[in-house]
Structure 1
Amino acid sequence: MPATDRAAALTFPQAFAPRGGAAADPDDPPAWPVGALVAAVADALRARFNPVRVAGEVAGCQRAASGHVYFTLKDEQGQLRCALFRRAAEASPVALRDGLRIEALGRLDVYAPRGDLQLIVERVRLAGQGALYEAFLRLKAQLAAEGLFDAARKRPLPPYPTSIGVVTSLEAAALRDVATTLARRVPHLPVWLYPAPVQGVEAPARLCAALQRAYDDHRRLGRPSVLLVVRGGGSLEDLWAFNDPALVRLLARAPMPVVVGVGHETDFTLADFVADLRAPTPTAAAELCAPAAEALRTALARWQERATAALWRRLDTAAQRLDRVAQRLGRPSAVTGRERARLQTLEHRMQRAAALRTERVRQQLERLAFAWRAAAQRETERRGERLARLADAWQAATSSAIDTQWQRLARAQTQLALLDPQRVVQRGYALVTDAAGHVLTDARRTRPGDALHVTLAAGRLDARVETVHLDPPH
């Protein structure tokens, strides 16, 4: 055993010997209370390292009921416990999960109850994309403050577009996917291509020029009615052209609805947020704005069935109305009966109203007479005479009104009787119809030899025309 190891073996028991044992070696360091030692270590860490940025892989990520997030950062050489408190977690743009590689900015500390070293995390960003991702977040916040991402400005896609525009690169695989999908779903629709590079330094300006050409065509020619902006997946740097502020602002001024399908389902660009609709892939973008032809044919068939059923319902209703009108026209006596019954009802109502009115006036007069009798006798007699005169006048007026109504009723009954075709026939006239049952009022509608039917007040005659005599013109 080396000398140092032997010395340690001798002094270790002595340092922790119970009181009353052998005296401690004067060369031994002083004994620390555990809490004081932990606090001293924590102070040394804070003074030496903080603030600190640590890169590693997230493991054992847990979110507590308090909202704090606890996880471990690890790499091949070690691991470090981390705590992301609720306020920092709510403000963090990165959703932590196991396996995610991040850079955590914070301060080292010691958790005294367990003596564990831990990192109190204040900010998190994805490892390897730090500066670019932070630029993305700054641009997103700036454009959101301008209202470009507001849900109120989003427009619905036309359910049946008349033409479709596509902005993408001629070499992009996304163009083939979109073309295949549109050819399958809406082969009858024209598709207008506005080519532009989708990656590189020149891509933002070229994409803006392609968008402007599409906008000009829509204003001048009315097409395309919906616009697709698509490209395949890639890294944040590959998709950076679709985060250009000028491109995002130009998309916000589109005169037609815009669908953006850039990257894969997990990729997001600022163009996605400003578009009227974000599609997870270019193929999905084409499907969203192009209803399948079979679905259109099915919808047309349903509309045809509904229109046919509605037309038959209208025809049936009109036929019923025509039958009712024909029944009313064919029986004038029924009309006369209804009018007579209506007049009788009005007469009864008038008599009942007059009787009620007379009764009310009589009761009112009795009340007034009673009140007047309580006053001075002379005034009572004078008012009694006046009431008598009013009663006589009222009776006379009521009788006159009833007589007038009876006269009107008599005149109405006379007019109704004059309208009765049977009364006309009874006065010596005859109703003449041709073989088809049409009433004849003009001799020019007959020819010699035509069969006629004559209806008299009592019985009918069958006759035939021998000679037609026409009245000379006046």
Structure 2
Amino acid sequence: MSISGEDGARGGFPGADDVLTVAQLNHRVARLLEAGIPRVWVCGEISNFTRAASGHWYFSIKDESAAVRAVMFRGRAQAVGFVPRVGERLELRVQVSLYEPRGDYQLQVEAMRRAGRGDLHEAFLRLRDRLSTEGLIDPARRRPIAAMPRAVGVVTSLAAAALRDVLSVMARRAPHVRVVVYPAPVQGREAAAQLCEALALAVARAEVDTLLLVRGGGSLEDLWSFNDEALARAIAASPIPIVSGVGHETDFTIADFVADLRAPTPTAAAELCCDSQAACEERLRNALGALAVAQRRRLDRAAMRLDKAAAQLVSPAQRLRLRGQRLTAAAQRLQAAVSHRTQVQAARLAAVRGRLEALDPRGVLGRGYAIVRGPSGNIVKNALDLNIGERIDVEFGSGRAQADIVHTESPF
């Protein structure tokens, strides 16, 4: 093996008299390993497994006579779909490398599948990727689980230990919640179809608020019914929120990805499907306390309004007295106003009468003047309007008289 671009003969290594640092040596060995050994599949048993806080997986892969350290970085580990267990036999696609700070030969794992079940795992990944493309695995699609359901349905086998675990948890934590079991086999060739039928029955009866789809742990083949595409689509289409609790914490199935909530175990599914009776009672006590405080404040405000209204309240007799006093005062004001107005009007009338009397012709006649009317009854203002011999009518301040014209004379 040689590395292109390195000085010196014999595959890029320096001459016998040249001196390398340890870091330089490890770097050259690492490059030789990565360039000289292609990516390969390795089969072995998992040991010393550690999942770091960073999300990286560190472990060893071994067989009967040898072992080697391995690392799987977080991005690759998230795509596996399950968490390896110590003692589990796996097939790993690896790049051989060297951890230079310690000079340790190690494997960088790019893919992982359970040994002897590569085809099933590949089918699992293909279905998961297809459902993800369709949006059925999108977390935004998941519906909230009711905290206080009226009833909870359980889809599992009547003989399953998972059912006993669920019933035990529900009886202990939430005896007030009714549990309805929709039996179906959880393993075997026909299990997936019958699980779909049980889900359809639960949806049609619409008697529960949450459904638990549960079974205990097992091998990949044992859990394969929960990787069925028809079952996955039935879960996604269910109008009732579904909690999936299949296998152990390290087991992942397609049902887990499409369910509204994934529980690591059947027991955890029962604990997550509703609040406990103690929690409900505590919330009820808090609500009653808050209601009592609000009611007390409301009554206090009402009492203050009542006191204010009572302070403004007067008896009917007192109200009549007050109104009588106001009426008397109004009558007095009205009488004074009428008297004043009468005096004003009488004064005005006297003034008008005086002006009328001043203009009355009879008033003038009383001072010695007379009104003369001609033969036609018209008032004569000019003596020359009369003819000799005409008879005139003379009106005095007191009485009347007639006279004949014997002479007329101009004032000029």
TM-score relative to the length of structure 2? 0.60
Kept in 2, the 8 Å contact 1:233–1:264? The answer is: yes
Kept in 2, the 8 Å contact 1:185–1:290? The answer is: no
The alignment status of 1:265 with 2:249, answered yes or no, reads yes
CA spacing shift, 1:206–1:36, aligned 2, 3 Å: farther
Partner Cα separation in structure 1 for residue 63 and residue 96 of structure 2:
18
| Helix, strand or coil at the partner of 1:35 | coil
The alignment status of 1:244 with 2:244, answered yes or no, reads no
Residue of structure 2 in register with 1:191 after alignment: 179
Q: Where does 1:154-169 land on structure 2 (aligned, <5 Å)?
A: 154-169=142-157
Kept in 1, the 8 Å contact 2:82–2:252? The answer is: no
Partner Cα separation in structure 1 for residue 229 and residue 148 of structure 2:
31
The alignment status of 1:142 with 2:130, answered yes or no, reads yes
Question: In the alignment, which of 91, 105, 119 is matched to residue 103 of structure 1?
Answer: 91
Partner Cα separation in structure 2 for residue 83 and residue 307 of structure 1:
58
Q: Where does 1:103-122 land on structure 2 (aligned, <5 Å)?
A: 103-105=91-93
Aligned alpha-carbon RMSD (Å): 4.6
CA spacing shift, 1:98–1:311, aligned 2, 3 Å: closer
Question: In the alignment, which of 13, 16, 29 is matched to residue 35 of structure 1?
Answer: 13
Q: Where does 1:48-447 land on structure 2 (aligned, <5 Å)?
A: 52-57=40-45, 73-79=61-67, 101-105=89-93, 123-218=111-206, 223-330=207-314, 422-424=325-327
1:236-274 per-position Cα deviation (integer Å, ceiling 9, x unaligned): 211111110100100011111111111122221111111
1:58-117 per-position Cα deviation (integer Å, ceiling 9, x unaligned): 6789999xx9999865433335577879987787667789876532335779999x9998
1:372-403 per-position Cα deviation (integer Å, ceiling 9, x unaligned): xxxxxxxxxxxxxxxxxxxxxxxxxxxxxxxx
1:292-326 per-position Cα deviation (integer Å, ceiling 9, x unaligned): 22332333233223223322322221121122123
Number of equivalent positions: 306
Alpha-carbon offset, residue 55 of structure 1: 1.8
1:162-201 per-position Cα deviation (integer Å, ceiling 9, x unaligned): 1111111010011111112222333333322110000010
In structure 1, stretches of 5+ residues that fail to align are 1-30, 333-417, 429-474
Partner Cα separation in structure 2 for residue 111 and residue 423 of structure 1:
108
CA spacing shift, 1:80–1:276, aligned 2, 3 Å: closer
The higher-RCO structure (CA 8 Å, 6+ apart) is 2
Partner Cα separation in structure 1 for residue 214 and residue 83 of structure 2:
26
Alpha-carbon offset, residue 276 of structure 1: 1.1
Partner Cα separation in structure 1 for residue 159 and residue 48 of structure 2:
43
Residue of structure 2 in register with 1:434 after alignment: none
Partner Cα separation in structure 1 for residue 75 and residue 121 of structure 2:
21
Is the helix fraction higher in 1 or 2? 1
Alpha-carbon offset, residue 122 of structure 1: 5.1
CA spacing shift, 1:70–1:225, aligned 2, 3 Å: closer
Alpha-carbon offset, residue 208 of structure 1: 0.3
Residue of structure 2 in register with 1:407 after alignment: none
Kept in 2, the 8 Å contact 1:58–1:73? The answer is: yes
TM-score relative to the length of structure 1? 0.53
CA spacing shift, 1:207–1:427, aligned 2, 3 Å: closer
Kept in 1, the 8 Å contact 2:82–2:250? The answer is: no
Kept in 2, the 8 Å contact 1:46–1:109? The answer is: no
CA spacing shift, 1:311–1:155, aligned 2, 3 Å: same
Partner amino acid, structure 2, of 1:56? G
Partner Cα separation in structure 2 for residue 136 and residue 233 of structure 1:
17
